[in-house]
């Protein structure tokens, strides 16, 4: 199984997960770009839109939903999301391609299994997920204000992690954001600070954890060097072993 961020940050998020066996399966997690932009990013990654077997939408914020409706309709791709997410975004299911996902489900696709779980974030029914091809396990964890025991339980044993490192607490405090926005981002239902992400990474460290990709970095309130040093410290690894998923280019294909 391999995966690739197509871009990550508050201007748009999308991640490809691909099983590499004989029954190759491609899943797009989140779709937070305009259609033309997303198609360009897919093309660069070597996956055609009609090769997508499924789309999974984590929550209704625009940096995750983007062109999902158009992409699904145009290429007849089934879309999974929480019922609350579909309601909150007013999803039009005239195509009949909408599928409901919920915490605890196991979504069995041809070659990949998706296991969504609830996270604390200021959306109607936010779900993050793990993906497995039966051998490797990838955990995707962005857009949450804090880690819960449930979140940490779901992510045990991951071979690869995409982990939100949204902001540095000091940079957020000193930023020009209005007070309500600082409170939202740094609050219990907002986004993870580097120090919180480092605690999560440390709690999930085990000898078979191969890749940690830092995602959803704030352009204003974070710096890649700060992310790398705080995760590297928690994981007792070299700062250069930490991969950053950027807004413009995401990250290279990585094998879980």
Q: Which residues sit at the interface with Zn ion, rule CB under 5 A?
A: 61, 63, 143
Bridge-based pairing state of the strands 127-132 and 211-215: unpaired
- Measured from the CB atom, the residue of 63 and 133 that comes closer to Zn ion is 63
- Measured from the CB atom, the residue of 59 and 228 that comes closer to Zn ion is 59
For residue 10, the minimal CB distance to Zn ion (Å) is 6
CA dist., res. 214 & res. 224, Å (int): 9
Chain position whose Cβ is nearest to Zn ion: 61
- Measured from the CB atom, the residue of 42 and 57 that comes closer to Zn ion is 57
CA dist., res. 92 & res. 82, Å (int): 14
For residue 111, the minimal CB distance to Zn ion (Å) is 27
For residue 61, the minimal CB distance to Zn ion (Å) is 4
Let me know: does 164 contact 201? Beta carbons within 8 Å. no
Question: 239: closest CA among 191, 172, 194?
Answer: 194
For residue 200, the minimal CB distance to Zn ion (Å) is 17
CA dist., res. 184 & res. 35, Å (int): 29
Alpha carbon of residue 69 to chain centroid: 19
- Measured from the CB atom, the residue of 111 and 250 that comes closer to Zn ion is 250
């Amino acid at each position: 199984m391999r995966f690739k961020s197509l871009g990550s940050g508050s201007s748009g998020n999308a991640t490809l997960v691909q099983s590499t066996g004989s029954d190759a399966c491609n899943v797009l997690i989140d779709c937070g770009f305009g259609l033309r932009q997303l198609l360009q990013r897919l093309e660069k990654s070597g996956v055609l839109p009609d090769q997508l077997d499924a789309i999974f939408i984590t929550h209704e914020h625009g940096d995750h939903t983007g062109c999902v409706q158009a992409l699904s309709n145009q290429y007849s791709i089934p879309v999974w999301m929480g019922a609350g997410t579909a309601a909150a975004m007013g999803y039009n299911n005239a195509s009949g391609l909408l599928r409901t996902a919920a915490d605890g489900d196991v979504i069995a696709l041809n070659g990949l299994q998706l296991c969504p779980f609830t996270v604390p974030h200021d959306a109607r029914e936010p779900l993050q997920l793990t993906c497995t091809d039966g051998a490797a396990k990838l955990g995707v964890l962005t857009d949450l204000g804090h880690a819960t025991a449930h979140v940490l339980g779901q992510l045990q044993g991951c071979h690869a992690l995409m982990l939100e490192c949204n902001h540095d607490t000091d940079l957020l405090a000193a930023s020009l954001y209005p007070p309500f926005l600082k409170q939202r981002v740094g609050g219990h239902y907002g986004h993870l600070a580097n120090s919180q992400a480092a605690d999560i990474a440390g709690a999930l460290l085990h000898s078979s954890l191969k890749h940690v990709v830092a995602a959803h970095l704030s352009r204003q309130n974070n710096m890649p060097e700060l992310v790398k040093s705080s995760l590297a410290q928690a994981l007792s690894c070299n700062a250069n072993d930490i991969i950053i998923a950027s807004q413009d280019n995401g990250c290279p294909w990585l094998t879980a």
